[in-house]
Copies of this chain bind each other. A is one copy, B any other.
Amino acid sequence: MLLILHPHIDENSAAFQQTWAYLAALPNIRVQKHIVQGKAQRLTEIYLIGDTAKIDRELIEALPAVERVVRISEEYRILGRHKDERRAIGFEYNGIQFDQDRLHIFAGLCAVDTKENVEAMLKALSAQGQRCTRMGAYKPRTNPYSFQGHGKGCLPYTFELAGKYGIKVIAMEVTHEDHVEQIDTCLEQTGRPTGVMLQIGTRNTQNFELLKAIGRQAKYPVLIKRGYGIPLTESLNAAEYLASEGNANVIFCLRGMHSSFAAPHRNLVDFAQIPVVKRLTRMPVGIDPSHSIGGRDRSPDGLLDLFHATAQGVIAGANLILVDFHPEPLKALVDGPQALRLEELPHFLEDVQIAREAYEKRRRLAKTAMTI
């Protein structure tokens, strides 16, 4: 049994002393104190080890220093949806609310290439009333000799243009802790015209040092992609690394799994696991249909596979969509072939809207059906 104490509790306080004395007197129980010291937060936890089955949980929860009692077998200590935990994680960033109920679309450029393309993209988004985007400055590439993104050099104009077109949040991949500092410095210098959601790519899902460094700051929320080659539970544990250091403003993003059964798609789309992530954790769940599908093939019904995959995610309750557009896909430096064209943006948004309405209707129906 794990007791999470109130944050920043003083061990000399009466509340702590009283609690400790009670626990120490429990028969056949060993009491062990554990300090979780993130840079931003200090948590005191107490483990009760031994014959805990007979312990009266309510009595323990009533102890003055105790905030919460968790069965120690429960995983994802902070981000998890434990038995007695009905609230999802919700957070506001730069005026936008993220949680397991809402849906946000982050259409944008996979990689920033030219200022002109950034502006064209943002202008198109603005015309459609969008307030979020994706823009990559740091691009991890399989081949060391490929284009790796413009890095911090493109940040000033990207941020300024985002501000000009009313974009509030840019999802931007970071692959090194220095990138967070570069982003923060540039945002500061440009007067914070927009906000940034730090993105952890699939190749870094288990780069624990990066996760810990990112988790130690609470200024920027984090979107973490599912890792490929590992079970879902390991990716959820990776997200927990962020929270364990103090930052629980985390969105978990599905992006398809590498598989010999995926062809002709790039990955085997895994969006059926949206409800799984929502059940196991309290994180909002995103999808990345562009990297899942990886092409522009079209079904005989006139819809791109990419549109279908997106709709599949949305109708199952996705909370965030990362999707690649490009003014000139064939000239894009990264992942051009899968990018949608700017003139397809209105259709895409309308298509998503249909799926979203269907999801909301299904959810209402389920509420009714269950009460019968």
Q: Which residues of A contact B (CB under 8 A)?
A: 36, 75, 77, 81, 86, 88, 100, 140-145, 175-176, 203-204, 206-210, 227-234, 237-238, 240-241, 244, 257-265, 268-276, 278-279, 292-293, 297-303, 305, 307-309, 311-312, 315-317, 347, 350-351, 354-355, 357-358, 361-363, 365-367, 369-370
Contacts and interface: CB of A to CB of B under 8 A. Distances in A.
Contacts of A208: 140-141, 144, 175, 203
A312 B271 contact: yes
Nearest to A303: B366
Contact of A312 (B241, B244, B260, B316): B316
Contacts of A268: 257, 259, 268, 270, 272
Given A229-B228, A355-B315, A363-B302, A293 B308 contact: no
A272 B265 contact: yes
A209 B301 contact: no
A362 to B, nearest CB: 5
Nearest to A369: B347
B347 A354 contact: no
A261 B232 contact: yes
8 closest A-B pairs by beta carbon, nearest first, are: A229-B229, A275-B299, A269-B272, A203-B206, A358-B358, A302-B366, A260-B260, A312-B312
A231 to B, nearest CB: 6
Nearest to A100: B300
Nearest to A261: B257
Interface centre among A77, A100, A144, A234 (most CB of B within 10 A): A144
A127 to B, nearest CB: 16
Given A228-B229, A308-B316, A354 B363 contact: no
